[in-house]
Homo-oligomer: A and B are copies of this chain.
Amino acid sequence: MGIELESASKSPSLGRVTLEDVAHLAKVSPATVSRCLNRPESVNLDKRARVNQAIQTLGYVPHGAARALASKQSRMVGAVFPAIDNTLFGTSLDAFQRTMADADYTVIVASSDYDPVREKQHVRRMLQSGIDALMLVGLARDEETYELISAHAIPYVTVWRLSGEQLHPAVGFDNRAAAEHLTGYLFSLGHERIGVLSGILEHNDRAQDRLAGVRDAYAKQGRTLADNDLIERPFGVEQGREMLRLIMSQETPPTAVVCGAEPLAYGAIFEAAAQNIDVPGDLSVAAFDDTWLAGQISPKLTTVRTPNMEIGEEAAKYLIATLSGVQPPLPRPLETDLIIRESTGRPPAG
C-alpha cells in the first residue's frame, strides 16, 4: 500500500469551493446539495445532515451569479431615491433595507438628485444587475422608464405619494390632502395670507401635490394664493433663510408660511430670529416631515408627521409578498398627522 495524500479526482483547496465540492464530500449528487439549499424539506434527514456538515467544513458560500443565472432570481432589489444624504429618505431607506434583509434580500441603492434622467440611468443599471424588484419615489417620470421596468417583468412600487388612478402600485400618503389640512388649520387660526416656501416643483410630484393642497385650502376660503407668496428653491436651510428674506421683504408680507420640507422651515425660523421676527407672534411657520429636530428646536415646529419609516417598510413588504407569489392587495394610503406645536399661532392683531 502506497502513500496517497491527495484525492485522485479534483484538486482540492484550489480556488473557489463549489457546490460540487460539497457534493463530493457529502457523497451525494450536486442536485441534492442544491435541494438542501433551496428546499431542504425535500431531502432526507441524514443526507441533509451530511450536506450541512460538508458545507460547514468546507466553508462553502454559494455563488450568487450562478444561482441567479440558473434560477432567474437574484434576491436583490433596487431602490432609487431623490437623495440619500438626509434623515427623511434615510429613514425610509433604513426601514426598507432592514425589512428586505429580514427576508434575505440584498438592496442596491442610488440617488437620482431629483433628476429623471439620472433616475433612468440608475434603473437601467439596476436592471442589468438583475434586481428582482424595484422601489421608486413618486410617479413623475417618462413612460420610457416604466417600459424599461415592465420589459423586465419585475414587480415595482412607487412611494411617498398615492397613484391617482392606481396606474402603478404606490405606498404613500395624500400629500395634497395633508397640505390642505395644514393650510386649513392656519386659516382657522385667522391668517388670511399664507406664503409657500416650496422645494423645486419641477419633476417633484410630492411638492406639486403639496402646493395644490395649499391652493385647495385657499379656494375653500374663496381666496387665491398670490404669485408673490410662492417661492421655490432647492431643499436646504440656507434656501429656507433666503426664501424667508424674500417673502418678508414685501410691503405687507404674509402672516404665515407653509414650508415644503423641514430644512426649509428651520431656515425660515433661524432667519426670522436673525431679523427679530417673532415666531409665532409675527409669523407662523409650519412644515412637513416631523423629523427628529422638529420637536426640539425652539420654537417647536408645527408640522405634518409623514410616515417615513412606514413607507420604507410597507414598500418592502409589498414587494416581498409579490415576489413570493402572493398577490398582495394594493397598499392602503398611509396616515399623516398634524402635529401642532409652538411655531404657529394667531396672526398679529391689526
Contact = CB atoms under 8 A, between A and B. Distances in A.
B263 A292 contact: yes
A152 interface: yes
A122 interface: yes
B298 A130 contact: no
A263 B297 CA distance: 12
B65 A74 contact: yes
A69 B63 contact: yes
Interface in A59-91: 59, 61-66, 68-69, 74-76, 83-87, 90-91
A74 B84 CA distance: 23
Contacts of A296: 237, 266-267, 270
A225 interface: no
A290 B266 CA distance: 17
Contact of A65 (B62, B69, B91, B152): B69
Interface stretch (A38-46, A101-109, A188-196, A333-341): A101-109
Interface residues of A, number: 54
Given A69-B69, A84-B97, A87-B87, A61 B124 contact: yes
Given A61-B127, A63-B69, A237-B296, A110 B85 contact: no
Most chain B beta-carbon contacts within 10 A, residue among A83, A84, A152, A270: A84
Q: State how many copies of this chain the complex holds.
A: 2
A93 interface: yes
A124 B60 CA distance: 11
A109 B87 contact: no
A316 to B, nearest CB: 13
A3 interface: no
A109 B107 contact: yes
B111 A125 contact: no
A326 interface: no
A129 B110 contact: no
A151 interface: yes
A64 B101 contact: no
A128 B76 contact: no
A14 B263 CA distance: 50
15 contacts: A59-B151, A63-B128, A65-B68, A65-B69, A66-B69, A74-B129, A87-B87, A87-B90, A90-B90, A104-B125, A106-B108, A106-B125, A106-B129, A263-B292, A267-B296
Interface of A: 59, 61-66, 68-69, 74-76, 83-87, 90-91, 93-94, 97-98, 101, 104, 106-111, 121-122, 124-130, 151-152, 236-237, 263, 266-267, 270, 273, 292-293, 296-298
